[in-house]
């Protein structure tokens, strides 16, 4: 196991969780406050999506990202910001002609998906490595687009968090590393339980970990009721941990949790298993973020 375990808190996500939980962060002020509170509870990293403040729907508006980032940076929080680049990859075929896009399509060019990262230069941003069925839509991330996004991330000084939802995604992400498009040490996030990706089982996590390139840094998470079992499994296998309202709404069975409460529970699990929880400064050194190499 690691001596120091990094906890990431994914504070809001992009799913249809507004209305399913009494306090999903929606506005930039709410998202920033959730990130700060997660840091106070023990998270070293906050994974940031933004939402339309009026509707609660997922957004990729750079102005909303800027508002969140500036609020967190203006606070006393030292939490590392990891900006999501997942929005802009969904494909919904038109019901009459699959060669045309339907109303659920959000696909845009890689540079447009990356505009908030190019402007705000976060320390980390996510790179979803692979095309897959996600719910009832296709999540489209073709190799050419991923190479372009990785190049833009490097130019912005942001470390890619290589989000892998299945075994083949690890193969391609490892090729990005081998081709020099992702700097060492690479950071992988193993995503388990999303429909229709890899299942959230100990066997799956161990298998996907076995495929990672040497000296890779990795974390893993499961969704819904498997959030905390998968957190424990990641620690036992030598990885890092992610929790948060993006992935799970409950701190105990039937009990809604806040992001801070989810982090506090993850902290207890990590410490019960033996390691200590990494501070943001320690996480920066572990990950080799800019200025710490």
Q: What is the pLDDT of residues 117-147, one digit of tens each?
A: 999 999 999 999 999 999 899 999 999 999 9
Residue 276 has pLDDT above 60, yes or no: yes
Q: What domains can you pick out in the chain, each with its CATH number?
A: 4-287 (3.20.20.70)
Q: Answer whether 101's CB lies under 8 Å from 127's CB.
A: no
Q: In whole numbers, what is the pLDDT of the chain averaged over residues?
A: 97
Q: Give the pLDDT band (50/70/90) at residue 84.
A: very high
Q: What is the pLDDT of residues 31-57, one digit of tens each?
A: 999 999 999 999 999 999 999 999 999
Percent pLDDT > 90 in the chain is 98
Q: What is the pLDDT of residues 91-108, one digit of tens each?
A: 999 999 999 999 999 999
Q: What is the pLDDT of residues 14-34, one digit of tens each?
A: 999 999 999 999 999 999 999
Q: What is the pLDDT of residues 166-205, one digit of tens each?
A: 999 999 999 999 999 999 999 999 999 999 999 999 999 9
- What is the structure's pLDDT at 291? 64
Q: Give the pLDDT band (50/70/90) at residue 72.
A: very high
- What is the structure's pLDDT at 168? 97
């Amino acid at each position: 196991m690691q001596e120091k375990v990094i906890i990431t808190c994914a504070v809001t996500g992009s799913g249809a969780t507004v209305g399913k939980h009494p306090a999903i962060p929606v506005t930039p002020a709410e998202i920033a406050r959730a990130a700060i509170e997660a840091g106070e509870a023990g998270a070293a990293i906050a994974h940031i999506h933004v939402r339309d403040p009026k509707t609660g729907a997922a957004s990729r508006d750079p102005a909303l990202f800027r508002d969140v980032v500036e609020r967190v940076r203006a606070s006393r929080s030292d939490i590392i910001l990891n900006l999501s680049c997942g929005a802009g990859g969904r494909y919904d075929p038109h019901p009459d002609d699959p060669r045309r896009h339907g109303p659920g399509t959000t696909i845009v060019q890689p540079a447009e998906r990356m505009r908030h990262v190019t402007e705000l230069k976060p320390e980390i941003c996510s790179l979803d490595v692979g095309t897959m069925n996600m719910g009832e839509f296709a999540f489209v991330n073709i190799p050419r687009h991923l190479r372009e996004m990785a190049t833009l991330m490097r130019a912005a000084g942001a470390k890619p968090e290589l989000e892998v939802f299945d075994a083949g995604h690890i193969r391609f992400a490892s090729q990005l590393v081998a081709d020099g498009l992702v700097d060492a040490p690479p950071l992988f996030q193993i995503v388990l339980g999303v429909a229709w990706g890899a299942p959230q089982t100990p066997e799956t996590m161990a298998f996907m970990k076995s495929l990672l390139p040497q000296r890779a840094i990795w974390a893993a998470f499961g969704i819904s009721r498997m959030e905390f079992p998968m957190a424990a499994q990641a620690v036992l296998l030598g990885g890092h941990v992610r929790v948060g309202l993006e992935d799970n709404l409950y701190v105990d069975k039937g009990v809604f949790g806040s992001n801070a409460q989810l982090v506090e529970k993850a902290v207890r699990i990590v410490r019960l298993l033996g390691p200590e929880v990494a501070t943001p400064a320690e996480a920066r050194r572990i990950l080799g973020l800019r200025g710490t190499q």
